[in-house]
């Protein structure tokens, strides 16, 4: 039970810090006030990127042993991106458990460490939106389109941005 208490104390602190000192580019809160382990996050599409002007909603789910294990992040808004699975899950190196990558793409040092915070995770996702990694894609079709048919890719992202604005 101790690790759950430790995790919830840390998450309460990170939420308080974000409320006191909001960070440009996103907002965060709880999905349900009774559950500190499920956060609702809105990421604003970074300026001067294809996602500019979009409001993308996601849910961050934290394990009971946070910060020793990473949360999962899943977009609930449509996001067309090489590093977002078709079901919305975000594929980001820092969200992978801190062991060696069985596929050899990532170094253990690039993966999850307990020093990451909600802020550093969301800032990494914003950075990911700005510069997709098509080397080890979560969405192979989006990565292929990003590489080979950039205009088609841009049109799909533009539709996602428009849909996100209509949901406001």
Active-site annotation, residues: 91
How far is the C-alpha of 150 from the C-alpha of 153, rounded, in Å? 5
Q: Where are the beta strands (DSSP E) in the chain?
A: 26-30, 38-44, 55-61, 72-75
SS3 state at 44: strand
> Coil, helix or strand for 122?
helix
Give the DSSP H or E segment for 10. helix 2-20
Backbone angles phi, psi at 129, to 5 degrees: -60, -35
């Amino acid at each position: 039970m101790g690790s759950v208490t430790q995790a919830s104390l840390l998450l309460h602190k990170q939420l308080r810090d974000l409320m006191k000192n909001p960070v440009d580019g996103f907002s965060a809160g709880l999905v349900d006030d009774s559950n500190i382990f499920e956060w609702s996050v809105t990421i604003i599409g970074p300026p001067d990127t294809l996602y500019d002007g979009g409001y993308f909603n996601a849910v961050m789910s934290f394990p009971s042993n946070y910060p020793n294990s990473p949360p999962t992040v899943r977009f609930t808004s449509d996001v067309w991106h090489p590093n977002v699975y078709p079901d919305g899950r975000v594929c980001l190196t820092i969200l992978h458990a801190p062991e060696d990558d069985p596929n050899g793409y990532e170094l253990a040092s690039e993966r999850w460490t307990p020093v990451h915070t909600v802020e550093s995770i969301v800032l990494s996702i914003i950075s990911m939106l700005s510069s997709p990694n098509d080397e080890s894609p979560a969405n192979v079709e989006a990565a292929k389109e990003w590489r080979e048919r950039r205009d088609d890719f841009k049109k799909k992202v533009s539709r996602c941005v428009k849909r996100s604005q209509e949901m406001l």
